């Protein structure tokens, strides 16, 4: 009898809180939808602009393009940040006063719905981030060819500054070096051109570009294993209510089969990475043989990091 009014007050509070949750959810969904719309319009409009700027930017390092790309990505981030702030303020920190179990359950449902909606925006941003990154293209083969052509053109062009005897540039130097005159033994300082100086950085990018298909093969494995896991999980769930022994046997055998495929892929993954890495470094060594020893140290470190941290 004495608790009657307080119970009623609690019920009223709970009803009000649930109503407020409903309203907040609706407002939050509408807000995220607007942000998604804004993000889509902005990203779709910026993609052709970025591609055009990438093609027309004459700067050696395409700096105007990179500035524009950074600005576009910054805009996408700021849209997501707005959603994150509202999510923190209105959803995560949503206040309700009672300790009612039903109300807590309602709150977790409300929170999960809003988080899922926010995650959709996050996925959309990641999708556009990938597309924005993909607008960058650089013809490394052409740049490397320019270095080779330049080397052919200059290799017999120089003479010793001291005695005038011809000096042959025996290989592509990418750093300033001393070349000895075969006639007077004077050490001439040879300074490579700006193009030749980029050989080491260019070499890695080019080698990565040439072996990208191998990395792609390796990177595709997690998606494949996830697919297998989901299929296996679905069959496992369907077994809970299954009574027919024949069906149970068939499904169990399928689960085992999927498990083996999963294991096989996991086992293959490090070997695929090593194949890619070896091919990439072989290419890099071919492009810039002067640093083979250093490249090999780098190769070993990348491989041991991969094994150590299970990347």
Partner 1 sequence: MSAENKPLSLLERMKQKAKEQKNYGGEFTGEEAKVNVRACPNCGAGRAKQDGLTHCAYCGFEFLSVQLTDGINLKKEDNSQNT
The Cα 249–Cα 255 span in angstroms is 10
In the complex, minimum distance from the CB of residue 278 to partner 1, in angstroms, rounded to a whole number = 23
Determine which residue in the list 28, 65, 144, 276 makes contact with partner 1, applying CB under 8 A.
65
The torsion of the CA quartet 49, 53, 56, 62, rounded to 10 degrees, works out to -170
- Asked if residue 59 binds partner 1 (CB under 8 A), the reply is yes
The answer to whether 225 touches 262, Cβ cutoff 8 Å, is yes
- Scan residues 214-273 and list those touching partner 1 (CB under 8 A): none
Determine which residue in the list 11, 104, 126, 180 makes contact with partner 1, applying CB under 8 A.
180
DSSP-derived 3-state class of residue 166: strand
Determine which residue in the list 189, 241, 244, 245 makes contact with partner 1, applying CB under 8 A.
189
The Cα 114–Cα 109 span in angstroms is 9
The Cα 87–Cα 77 span in angstroms is 15
- Cβ closer to partner 1: 92 or 175? 175
- Cβ closer to partner 1: 146 or 252? 146
The answer to whether 28 touches 111, Cβ cutoff 8 Å, is no
Least Cα distance to 290 among 174, 137, 209 occurs for 174
- Asked if residue 193 binds partner 1 (CB under 8 A), the reply is yes
- Scan residues 67-106 and list those touching partner 1 (CB under 8 A): 67-68, 71-72, 75
Q: Which residues bind partner 1 (CB under 8 A)?
A: 42, 45-46, 49, 53, 59-61, 63-65, 67-68, 71-72, 75, 150, 154, 158-162, 167, 169, 173, 175, 177-180, 184-196, 290-291
């Amino acid at each position: 009898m004495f608790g009657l009014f307080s119970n009623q007050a609690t019920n009223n509070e709970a009803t009000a809180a649930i109503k407020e949750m409903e309203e907040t959810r609706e407002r939050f969904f509408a807000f995220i939808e607007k942000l998604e719309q804004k993000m889509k319009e902005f990203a779709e409009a910026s993609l052709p602009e970025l591609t055009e700027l990438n093609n027309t930017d004459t700067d050696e390092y395409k700096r105007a393009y990179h500035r524009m790309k950074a600005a576009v990505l910054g805009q996408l981030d700021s849209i997501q940040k707005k959603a994150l702030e509202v999510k923190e303020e209105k959803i995560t920190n949503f206040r309700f006063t009672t300790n009612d179990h039903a109300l807590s359950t309602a709150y977790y449902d409300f929170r999960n719905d809003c988080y899922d909606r926010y995650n959709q925006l996050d996925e959309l941003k990641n999708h556009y981030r990938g597309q924005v990154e993909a607008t960058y293209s650089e013809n490394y083969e052409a740049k490397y060819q320019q270095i080779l052509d330049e080397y052919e053109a200059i290799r017999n062009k120089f003479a010793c500054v001291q005695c005038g005897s011809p000096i042959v540039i025996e290989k592509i130097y990418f750093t300033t070096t001393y070349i000895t005159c075969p006639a007077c033994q004077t050490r001439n300082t040879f300074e490579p051109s700006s193009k030749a100086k980029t050989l080491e950085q260019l070499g890695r990018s080019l080698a990565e570009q040439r072996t990208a298909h191998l990395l792609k093969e390796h990177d595709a494995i997690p998606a494949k294993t996830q697919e297998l896991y989901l299929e296996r999980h679905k069959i496992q769930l369907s077994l809970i209510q299954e009574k027919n022994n024949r069906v149970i046997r068939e499904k169990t055998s399928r689960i085992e089969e999927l498990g083996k495929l999963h294991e096989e892929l996991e086992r293959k993954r490090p070997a695929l990475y090593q194949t890619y890495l070896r091919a990439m470094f072989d290419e890099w060594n071919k492009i810039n043989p002067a640093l083979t020893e250093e490249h090999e140290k780098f190769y070993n470190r990348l491989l041991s990091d991969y094994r150590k941290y299970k990347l």
